[in-house]
Structure 1
Amino acid sequence: MWYFAWLLGLPLAAIFAVMNAMWLEMKEDEQTIAEGSANRIQDRRS
């Protein structure tokens, strides 16, 4: 019966890892976009 725990646990762990990686990529993209917007605003002022 232990294999049922593995059968359910491994896919859930893999899904969690993929979702976590996607979330981190999204946060990095948001930060990059925000920094790019700030740089463009500063360039227009000078």
Structure 2
Amino acid sequence: MEQIEAFKKLRDACDDIVNAYDKEDEKELETAMGRFLFLCMQLQSLK
């Protein structure tokens, strides 16, 4: 995965977190936060 693609996916995950928080959907929020953390780990491994 290219680094720019990783940042785009992080941006999308952040948007999903905010949307789930606004809708007060705990399951969706947990899923989005998990995806965000996973992407952070992938980005860290690219260093």
Q: More relative contact order in 1 or in 2 (CA 8 Å, sep 6+)?
A: 2
Instruction: Choose 1 or 2 for highest CA Rg.
Output: 1
Higher helix share: 1
